[in-house]
Amino acid sequence: MIWGVLQFPGSCDERDALHACEVHGDGARLIWHESRDLDGLDGVVVPGGFSYGDYLRAGAIARFSPAMEAVAEAAAGGMPVLGICNGFQVLCEAGLLPGALLRNVELRFRCHQVELVEEGSGERLSIPAKHGEGRYYAPAEMLDQIEANGQVAYRYAEGHNSNGSVRDIAGVSNERGNVLGLMPHPEHAVDPLTGSTDGLRVFDRLSRGAFANHGDGNPPR
Amino acid sequence: MLIRPKEGILDPQGKAVERALPALGFEGIGQVHVGRMVELEADDPERLAELCEKLLANTLIEDYEIQTL
């Protein structure tokens, strides 16, 4: 599996994402935001940071970059795409994922280790979160729809939803299950040296289609 | 263009401003919401709604209003 990691002006987690992809797969390379070249890639990470200064709204400008246009096309073709933090915001703004990310409920930038619960398996993951605009929001009808479709991929464990996300949602996928957005940072949890390797599980599950919607109303397996 | 959080969506920024008011001696002020204003000059004002829909507002979470001067 060869990964590509997008790099916008203002990205700051692309190096860790690159490292995580190298640990998980067979190689990875950075893709500058002005490039459309995804040749030879099997998956793409849209990393965290503050793309284009987060001007207007987080992720609002990045969605119009040539690299993101190429990613949207590749995603439509079924390529696995993982958006982390700012990358999640970009994918929501681009309409590749449902919902939006709002300012944290207490207006504070939060930086701490969080426990996530994987929908379906109930597996618990410990990975870092660091964001000021991580409060997942979607209107009630949309939420009911994505829950019915099995698109909720991760929720904050009890007591870990510090940003006020609706229904404790930390990560969602698209209907097809090949595009995943996650507010906490799996790319920072791939080495025992930093306390947890649970983040690799996210890369692994996405790469083997584990978030695919099975159309039976059941959560992803 | 005036862009503001949709009604019913928790607006912590507005709440924070509202909570600060009594300490400054402002009483009787409520329902504070913080949005943003975008000023621009346009040759063709007809297309401004499209501009709001596509970029300036995220209509899932924000309402917009266009005022022509």
Please tell me the distance from the alpha carbon of residue A173 to that of residue B42, in angstroms, as a whole number: 38
A214 has pLDDT over 60: no
Alpha-carbon gap: B57 to the closest alpha carbon of chain A (Å): 9
- Per the structure, the count of domains in chain A is 1
Element (H, E) at A16: helix A14-24
A221 has pLDDT over 70: no
The DSSP string of A183-205 is SS-GGG-SBGGGTB-THHHHHHH
A85 is catalytic: yes
Task: Report if residue A29 sits inside a domain.
Answer: yes
Residues of B with CB under 8 A from a CB of A: 9-10, 12-13, 16, 55-56, 58, 60-61
CATH number assigned to the domain comprising residue A167? 3.40.50.880
Domain containing residue A173: 2-100+110-207
pLDDT at B69: 87
Q: Please report how the helices A199-207 and A14-24 are oriented relative to each other, as an axis angle in degrees rounded to 10.
A: 70
Domain containing residue B43: 2-65
* Pick among A102, A105, A136, A172 to test the B interface (most B CBs inside 10 A): A102
What pLDDT, in 10s, does the model give residues A38-85? 999 999 999 999 999 999 999 999 999 999 999 999 999 999 999 999
Q: CB–CB of B56 and A56 under 8 A?
A: yes
Q: What's the mean pLDDT in A25-34?
A: 97
Chain B residues with CB under 8 Å of A105 CB are: 10, 12
- Per the structure, the count of domains in chain B is 1
CATH number assigned to the domain comprising residue B40? 3.30.1280.10
The DSSP string of A92-129 is HHTTSSSSEEE--TTS--EEEEEEEEETTT--EEEEEE
Angstrom distances, CA of residue B55 to CA of A74, A85, A92, A96, A194: 22, 20, 13, 15, 39
Task: Report if residue A131 sits inside a domain.
Answer: yes
What pLDDT, in 10s, does the model give residues A172-210? 999 999 999 999 999 999 999 999 999 999 999 999 999
Q: Picking from A65-69, A104-108, A133-137, B63-67, which range would have the lowest pLDDT averaged per residue?
A: A104-108
Q: CB–CB of B10 and A104 under 8 A?
A: no
Q: Which among B10, B16, B61 has the least Cβ separation from residue A100?
A: B61
Minimal Cα distance from A101: which residue of B? B61
A33 is catalytic: no
Minimal Cα distance from A136: which residue of B? B61
Task: Report if residue A221 sits inside a domain.
Answer: no
Task: Report if residue A216 sits inside a domain.
Answer: no
Q: CB–CB of B58 and A100 under 8 A?
A: yes
Task: Report if residue A214 sits inside a domain.
Answer: no
Task: Report if residue A212 sits inside a domain.
Answer: no
Please tell me the distance from the alpha carbon of residue A130 to that of residue B1, in angstroms, as a whole number: 32
Task: Report if residue A219 sits inside a domain.
Answer: no
pLDDT at A213: 65
ipTM of the complex: 0.84
| pLDDT, chain A, mean | 94
Q: Which among A99, A107, A139 has the least Cβ separation from residue B12?
A: A107
Query: Of the listed A85, A93, A118, A160, which one is catalytic?
Result: A85
Q: What amino acid occupies position A167?
A: R
Task: Report if residue A105 sits inside a domain.
Answer: no
